Structure 1
Amino acid sequence: MPLYRYQARSSSGKVQSGTLPADSVMAASALIRNQGLRVVQINPVGASRGKAGLSGLLKALNYSSGPSQRDVLDFTTQLAVMTRAGISIRAALEGIADQVTNLKWRKILLDIRQDVESGRQFSEAIARHPKLFSPLYVNMVRASEMSGSFAKMLDRIAAYLQQQLETRKMVIGAMIYPGIIGSMAIGVTVFLLTFVLPRFSVVFEGKEDLLPAPTVFLMALSATMVNYWYIFLGAVLALLTGLILFLRTRLGRLTFDRVKLTAPVFKRMFRALYINRSLHTMGELLGAGVPMREALRITGDVAGNIYYKQLWRAVHSSVEQGKKIITPLQKSTLLPKAVVQMIAAGEEAGKLAEVLDEVAQFYSRLLRDAIRTVTSMIEPIMIILMGSVVGFIAMAIILPIFKMSSLVK
């Protein structure tokens, strides 16, 4: 069990120090509080920073990877627990950093702690790392610093990050499955054309007049792929490179985002995703006390789709002109009329944050249903497609064999 060194203050103001075993920093803090003490500082004893061997190698490999949003979520959760336990932000940052194995992440946390020690607000310190701490995160923390609800706000941020990570995982999972099936179909097709069909070329040699058109076409395609494979490989690589470069252009992003909103199988899922993300983000920001214009700007930045980003920018401009937020929403087809009406009612009643949160929860459930629907629809479609391709190639091989057998008889 790890050993922790601590400093704590009694109710009389006397500072005590010592060590105690505990499963984690939080558990150690709880043990100290149970003794009627207030934690001032707590750190693990003999943190394994310099371990050699396999652990050192893993740390070295982990250094290059950098922290992820999952790391940020875990950090936020731990910081909320520790600050609620009465541990200072500086001590909490040091304690969390000592438990981190990712060296880049540890350095960032120690940099944040140093900024806090030098007199910066915590929101200012994390704002210096925009790749990890989004404007939403920074603004919600800044609002909590003014209202004095730091730990509670961290809980809200952690819940938001958790939902966004789970949503992203579900969407990626729904998109990976057809990708795997499609890759298998392409692999099987290439295998049949380059390894199986060439074996039958000897059987069909000199009998081209007896072969049906599909067989002639596949045999020619097979011979071309075997003899000029480098041309096919170059064409595929050129196509993929061109597609990637196109998607990096504004026209490419507009086209791809439009496809996601109009594709028959996927549009319901993506619309639910973007509506949920936008309304959830805006609701959290307004609930945290972030000004409306700043909340709209951040909502547009995290929308995830150019068309929704343009919509929230239009709402931002409308609010700057003194108009209501529903004015541009009523002209758009990106939000259902029922959603616009609920937003209007929330704005009129002064309960916009609560309404946005309720609508976001509804679309979170709708998104899960849409993902299940997409997965259940794609599976039979991909199986039928794969079976059709393999069946076509198989029939192109079998039919001429039957035909030649009947001629022999």
Structure 2
Amino acid sequence: MPAYQFTALDVSGKQHKGVLEGDSARQVRQQLRDKDWTPLSVAAVEQKEKNTGSSFFQKKFTAYDLALMTRQLSVLVAAAIPLEEALRAVAKQNEKAHVQNLLLSVRSKVLEGHTLAQGMQQGGRFPDLYIATIAAGERSGHLDLILDQLSDYTENRFAMQKKIQGAMIYPIILMLMSFAIVMGLMTYVVPDIVKTFDQSKQALPWITVALMKASDLIRQTWPFMLLGLGVMTVLLLRFLRSASGHYAFDRLVLKLPLFGKLSRGINSSRFASTLSILTQSGVPLVDALKIGAAVSSNWVIRDAINIAAEKVIEGGSLGTQLERCGYFPPMMVQMIKSGETSGELDRMLSRASDMQDREVTAFISTLLALLEPLMLVFMAAIVLVIVIAVMLPIVNMNNMV
């Protein structure tokens, strides 16, 4: 039974929006009239999504929504509840209208005879990893077990994402506050102090002269500096969105000492996790490699994985191909080689994924632990320079007296 999104007015004139199921839009309007509501608009969920555009929806369909939805669906399917009823229950439990629309749209496809993976694929909102894993679970007849594994995977990905975001909050706030304090000193405090030095007509230290010129420059040109910064940011973002810009940025990141290691670690962890769950679900290795390449945020590493997939099709070893590209940790490569030799690639990939997750988490924690004191030292050094520039003329004046 298809789902319809409606807008209606009750007897008091209050507007209501929601989703109802019905054989047709006419039946949904009748359901609204039975509630003494006046229907304003009734549209099929799929048609509504096409009219609103997919880009807006994708911004709202967060990793948290996917993790929560997967866990709820996993529990209901494991309890032997029919799939269409499970989808309907999960849709009703979700408070976000767009997620309800998506799930009811998938449910309508399932009621039409499509598989769950086909319904999600036609919705166009689910990741390739998600669809491929569910398709493998439906083929093997173990959808409940696959959904449980997928729930663990999505929840772990979401937990790591939130951990990184939470750890970055303090350094970002500290950096913004440091910048605001320095700009405030240079714009309002320093000019008032150095006025007395101009009136004294004495020779000033070079550091004081440099500070005065920098303060004057900031006060006179700060609107143009902000405008220039905004224009440069827009141009840089447009360049990074292009294919050449994206590749140039990814190559640069891989060459940087700390950020290169971090990028390789994050992408290696993501690739190992994706490949592990896909191989455990019964997805062919070549298809799993293509999906694993697609989830990589670094396009240079993505191309390297695609090349490795082509070599595997030709009969090559996955571990050897990953070792040649040089973007994956040696320990992870050796574990993959061991898994290929022993015939337990899925188990070794799972271990490699856990190991990479721990290493990435530890590296990020160490990096952020070093970043905070470095920013404090940097801010203290700037303030010290300002204080020295202000105090040196005062000390010279006292010596002359």
- Same fold judged by TM-score > 0.5? yes
Q: Pick from 95, 101, 123: which aligns with 1:129?
A: 123
Q: Deviations over 1:125-171 (max 9, x none)?
A: 1112333x111110110011111111111111111111111222233
Looking at structure 1, the residues matched to 68 and 163 of structure 2 have their Cα atoms a distance apart, in angstroms, of 20
Matched, 1:196 2:189: yes
Looking at structure 1, the residues matched to 203 and 139 of structure 2 have their Cα atoms a distance apart, in angstroms, of 85
Which structure has more helix as a fraction of its residues? 2
1:329 positional shift:
2.0
Partner of 2:135: 142
1:256 positional shift:
3.0
Looking at structure 1, the residues matched to 163 and 249 of structure 2 have their Cα atoms a distance apart, in angstroms, of 20
Partner of 2:387: 394
Looking at structure 1, the residues matched to 68 and 315 of structure 2 have their Cα atoms a distance apart, in angstroms, of 40
Query: After superposition, where does 1:155-170 map in structure 2 within 5 Å?
Result: 155-170=148-163
* Contact persistence 2:106–2:123 (CA under 8 A): no
- Letter matched to residue 77 of structure 2: T
Partner of 1:99: 93
Partner of 2:302: 309
Q: Pick from 73, 82, 95: which aligns with 2:76?
A: 82
Unaligned runs of 5+ in 1: 1-49, 51-61
* Contact persistence 2:67–2:158 (CA under 8 A): no
Query: After superposition, where does 1:6-17 map in structure 2 within 5 Å?
Result: none
The TM-score with structure 2 as length reference comes to 0.81
Q: How many residues align?
A: 347
Matched, 1:70 2:64: yes
Q: Pick from 231, 235, 250: which aligns with 2:228?
A: 235
CA RMSD in angstroms, aligned pairs only: 2.2
1:64 positional shift:
11
Looking at structure 2, the residues matched to 207 and 238 of structure 1 have their Cα atoms a distance apart, in angstroms, of 42
CA spacing shift, 1:256–1:168, aligned 2, 3 Å = farther
Looking at structure 2, the residues matched to 339 and 108 of structure 1 have their Cα atoms a distance apart, in angstroms, of 38
SS state at 1:323 partner: coil
* Contact persistence 2:105–2:123 (CA under 8 A): no
Matched, 1:210 2:203: yes
Partner of 1:273: 266
Q: Pick from 88, 111, 117: which aligns with 2:111?
A: 117
Looking at structure 2, the residues matched to 104 and 86 of structure 1 have their Cα atoms a distance apart, in angstroms, of 27
1:219 positional shift:
1.1
Unaligned runs of 5+ in 2: 1-36, 38-55
CA spacing shift, 1:208–1:292, aligned 2, 3 Å = farther
The TM-score with structure 1 as length reference comes to 0.80
Looking at structure 2, the residues matched to 129 and 73 of structure 1 have their Cα atoms a distance apart, in angstroms, of 18
* Contact persistence 2:194–2:390 (CA under 8 A): no
Looking at structure 1, the residues matched to 122 and 379 of structure 2 have their Cα atoms a distance apart, in angstroms, of 50
What percent identity do the matched residue pairs reach?
A: 29
* Contact persistence 1:318–1:327 (CA under 8 A): no
Looking at structure 1, the residues matched to 394 and 82 of structure 2 have their Cα atoms a distance apart, in angstroms, of 81
1:297 positional shift:
0.3
* Contact persistence 1:174–1:374 (CA under 8 A): no
* Contact persistence 2:253–2:263 (CA under 8 A): yes
* Contact persistence 1:80–1:155 (CA under 8 A): yes
Partner of 2:349: 356
Q: Pick from 319, 325, 342: which aligns with 1:326?
A: 319
* Contact persistence 1:208–1:216 (CA under 8 A): no
* Contact persistence 1:276–1:360 (CA under 8 A): yes
- Letter matched to residue 113 of structure 2: G
* Contact persistence 1:75–1:96 (CA under 8 A): yes
Q: Pick from 394, 397, 401: which aligns with 1:404?
A: 397
